[in-house]
Amino acid sequence: MSFENRVAWITGASSGIGAALSRELASRGAHVVLSGRDEARLAAVAEGLATESLCLPFDVRDDDAMAAATRAAIDWRGGVDIAVANAGVSQRGAARKTEMHVYREIVAIDLVQQIAFAQGLVPHMADRGSGRLVFISSIAGKVGVPMRTAYCAAKFGLVGYADALRAELSQSGVEVHVVAPGSVATDVSRNALTADGSRRGKSDPAIDNGIPPDEAAREMVDAIALNQREIIVARGMEEALGKLRQTPDQVFDQVAAMVAGGYMEKMEAEG
């Protein structure tokens, strides 16, 4: 596909993978909507883009603010063509020491509110008969990783939601992509929540030596352009682990065939 003159909306766009995706999509001619909590950092990213952009700052935990941003993003240029659910927070803490409020916060941000973001756009895209929903999961959404039990739970859940949504939308013209990055050189580890919910404040060697964000973003956008449904962007052991748990396209096609055969209509008719 061509991204020329398409409207792409990215959450978590003020830094890291979100900022890199904004730059990559803009370099391919997309008009970019940037969202995140920090308006100044969003503006700094917007200044470096090659095309027209719109900054819509909000906290993904604020449903009213998200709904207002959704209306503004759709109204800006008459619709949203690509939506990237990228906002999130990671974790570094053993399960036996992690307080329940940390689980609730990570699952809320990384799963529930990413679903809310998508749900706000599903009717819009389905009614138009086109669009792409992109969910940034993780290798930790394919393989359980120690010290990240809440994060893995949320990221695994995001994959499940996206896979089911893809099947439901398979007759609508709307495409659904799941991206599973490995270690990318961002602040994800510094910003991770510890067992008591405090910010970790330091990075990991694996992250510091990870894939440069712009390189990762280029791989992601290349794969989206090729209409790959599950996209692993990782190196070494992380890539191998991700591919061990990668879902074959035949599975996606089989479930989509159920929808094409009237599965949803039968279920709804049965109540």
* Residues known to be catalytic: 151
Element (H or E) spanning 141, and its range?
none
Strands (E) located in 103-170: 131-136
Q: Read off the amino acid at residue 87.
A: A
Interior angle at CA 234, CA 230 and CA 237, nearest 5: 115
List Cβ neighbours of 249 (8 Å cut-off, separation of 6 or more). Answer: 229
Which residue is associated with the tokens 């398409």?
Answer: 6
List Cβ neighbours of 232 (8 Å cut-off, separation of 6 or more). Answer: 139, 142, 180, 182, 239, 242, 243, 246
Distance CA 166, CA 230 (A): 11
Q: Residue 76 in 3-state DSSP?
A: helix
Q: What six digits make up the tokens of 18?
A: 């979100």
Which residue is associated with the tokens 């699952």?
Answer: 107
Strands (E) located in 42-151: 53-55, 82-85, 131-136
Sort 135 into a burial class: Cβ within 10 Å, 0-12 / 13-18 / 19+: buried
List Cβ neighbours of 141 (8 Å cut-off, separation of 6 or more). Answer: 152, 154, 155, 156, 158, 159, 178, 180
Which residue is associated with the tokens 């396209």?
Answer: 249
